[in-house]
Chains A and B, each alone.
Chain A
Amino acid sequence: MKRQKIKYYVVENKMDELSSLAEKIERLADEWSISQELSMKINLVIEEALSNIILYAFNDKSKHEIRISVSKEDNNLEITFKDDGIPFNPLLQKKPDINLPAEERPVGGLGIFLISQVMDEMHYSRDKNQNILILKKSI
């Protein structure tokens, strides 16, 4: 029998929202008996995706809400982000060359790459005025 657990979060487009959200995700991991290692990875992908949205999806100074859901069904973990920013597809970001020496390694551009390494699937879609990013991992 499949049992789905799902939790919803709404955050504002401010970086300092990340800390309180991280604490909530840690509590969720406890509730769902998720290992500390996996909980760290969930926190990582949420931080990377959210900070990208906050930095790049909004070109006005207004307050925006970003909706996040985290769900677990058997061994499948899914994290979804919805925002009403400008069309922004993180999957189009250029992959960093991780073989360069430190002197030549550009600073930055690692966030989305880390998500792609930690998660199994990344999907982006634009629905009316919304960016929808779905991340999946079998755990």
Chain B
Amino acid sequence: MNIKSEKVQNFTVLRIEGRIDTVRSSVLENEINQLFNNGEKNLILNCKEMNYISSSGLRVFLVAQKKAIALNGKLMLCNMQPGIQEIFRISGFSNLFKIFETQEAALENA
């Protein structure tokens, strides 16, 4: 798994690449925690290159959403692959996040 970070407008965009599984999900969790701890409230998780997620990865997404809500911030997801969308749908996670087709659409709706 790789995570690339960039600042776009008033959002930090994390581009998540590869597998978010039991072994690696803590890397993403730490990255997100660090951003929140440094005062960032607005995140876009660009999932274009994320090709696998398990329940431990979903847990990281949920914890991030809870924090964003508590901070009155924004957490948006975009560019999800169809297989990942299906996992979000069957776990009821599609309803917990603002999910956009593209990063541009996410920024426009911010």
Question: Which residues of A line the B interface, CB within 8 A?
Answer: 15-16, 18-19, 22, 36-37, 40-41, 43-44, 47-48, 51, 96, 98-103, 105, 107-108, 110-111, 113-114, 117-118
Contacts and interface: CB of A to CB of B under 8 A. Distances in A.
Nearest to A99: B92
Contacts of A15: 22-23
B62 A40 contact: no
A51 B56 CA distance: 10
11 contacts: A16-B23, A18-B22, A19-B23, A47-B21, A98-B92, A100-B92, A102-B66, A103-B69, A110-B59, A111-B55, A114-B54
B107 interface: no
B39 interface: no
Interface string B49-84: 001101110110011011001000000000000110
- Binding site of A, secondary structure by majority: helix, strand, loop or mixed? helix
B92 A114 contact: no
Contacts of A101: 96
A134 to B, nearest CB: 20
A115 to B, nearest CB: 9
Interface of B: 19, 21-23, 51-52, 54-56, 58-59, 62-63, 65-66, 69, 82-83, 87, 90-92, 95-97
A37 B54 CA distance: 14
B22 A51 contact: yes
A102 B96 contact: yes
Q: Which 10 A-B pairs have the closest CB atoms?
A: A98-B92, A110-B55, A117-B90, A111-B55, A102-B96, A102-B65, A47-B54, A37-B83, A51-B22, A40-B83
A22 B21 CA distance: 10
B58 A110 contact: yes
A102 B51 CA distance: 23
B55 A48 contact: yes
B52 A103 contact: no
